[in-house]
Amino acid sequence: MKLFKPTLIALALVAVVGCNEKAVEEVKAPVLDTEVQKQAYGLGASIGMYMQRNLEEHDKLGLTLDKELIVRGFVDSIDGKAVIEKEEIQALLMNLDASMKEKQQAAAIAASESSLADGAKFLADNAKQEGVTVTESGIQYEVLTAGEGDTPLATDTVKVHYKGTFLNGEEFDSSYKRGEPAVFPLNRVIKGWTEGVQLMPLGAKYKFTIPSDLAYGPNGNPPSIPGNSVLQFEIELLEIQKADAAPKADGHDHAAH
C-alpha cells in the first residue's frame, strides 16, 4: 500500500494555500531528510490511510463524503479554527455512525437474500452433474480420490487438509496455505462437515457442496462468510484419532462453530 493518497494530499494543499489545480500538480515532493521529518510525514500518512479505508466503506454504502471538506476540517482543527463546536461535531459523527450501521444492515440483508436465491439455483443445477451424490440432508459431494481405510465417527477427532470456497470460486480458508493440516473433533464443526466427513474413508479426498442451513445459516460467520452462503470444501482425510486418545483441536479451521 502507498504511504499516502495523492488525491488527499492535493486537497490538503488546496485547503492550506488555496492553490489552483494546475499549481497543485507542480508541488514538489516532501522533504524527508531527517528522522523527525519522516515521523511527521508518517503520522499524516497513517491518518490518511485510515481515512482512505473509511471513505471507501462510506462510498460503497452510498454515503460519499466531500474529501475537500474533510481535509479542511482537519487543517482548521489543527490551527484551532474549527467552525463547528466540539459538542455538535460529536452529535454529527454519532448520526453518521448510525446511518452507516443502518445501511450496513440493509446491505447485509440484501446480500443474504441474494445468496439464498443463488445458492438454491446452484444446488439444483449441481445435483444434476455427473459424479455428484446428494445425501438425505442435502449435502452434495464428489469423490476426487477414493480412500480405503476406516471412516470416522462423529465422536472422533480428525486430521484433514482442506480448502473452502464460495460458489464464485473465491477462497476464504485453506489449511494448505497455512502449511499444516487442521485437527478438530468432528462433532464440533458445522453440521455439513460432521455428516460429510463421516462418509470419507481414510486417505480419501472429497469435494462437498454444503447448503447454508448445514453451514453458517442466515447469520453467516462475519466478517468472512455472508449469511445464507452455500459453501464448497475440498477435504482430504489424513488421520482418524479415536475419542479416548484425541488431542484438543488446533482452532484454525473455518468449519468450527
Give domain 131-245's CATH architecture.
Answer: Roll (3.10)
Q: Over 60: is that where the pLDDT of 8 sits?
A: no
The percent of residues in the chain predicted with pLDDT above 90, rounded, is 59
Q: Scanning the structure block, which residue is given the C-alpha cell 495523492?
A: 6
The chain-wide mean pLDDT, for the chain, equals: 85
pLDDT at 193 over 80: yes
Taking 70 as the threshold, does the pLDDT of residue 169 lie above it? yes
The model's pLDDT over 223-251, given as tens digits with 9 standing for 90+, comes to 788 889 999 999 999 999 987 654 555 54
Residue 5 confidence class, pLDDT cut points 50, 70, 90: very low
Q: What is the pLDDT of residue 245?
A: 55
Write the DSSP assignment of 197-249 as a string of letters.
HTTPPTT-EEEEEE-GGGTTGGG-BTTTB-TT--EEEEEEEEEEE-GGG----
* Confidence check: pLDDT of 185 > 80: yes
Q: pLDDT at position 206, please?
A: 98
Region 163-181: mean pLDDT is 95
Query: In whole angstroms, what is the distance from residue 65 CA to residue 103 CA?
Result: 15
Q: Is the pLDDT of residue 30 over 80?
A: yes
Largest distance between two CA atoms of the chain? 76
pLDDT value of position 213? 94
Reported as a single tens digit per residue, the pLDDT across 54-71 is: 898 888 888 899 999 998
| Number of neighbouring beta carbons within 10 Å of residue 51 | 17
Res 254: pLDDT? 63
DSSP 29-76: PPP--SHHHHHHHHHHHHHHHHHHHHHHHHHHTT----HHHHHHHHHH
Q: Where are the domains of the chain?
A: 6-83, 131-245
pLDDT above 60 (res 20): no
Q: For the chain, what's the residue count?
A: 257
pLDDT in tens, 82-109: 999 999 999 999 999 999 889 888 887 8
Give the pLDDT mean for 165-192: 95
pLDDT (average), residues 39-45? 93
The C-alpha angle 12, 14, 16, rounded to 5 degrees, equals 70
pLDDT of 164 strictly over 70? yes
pLDDT one-digit tens code per residue, 108-161:
788 777 778 889 999 999 999 999 999 999 999 999 999 998 999 999 999 999
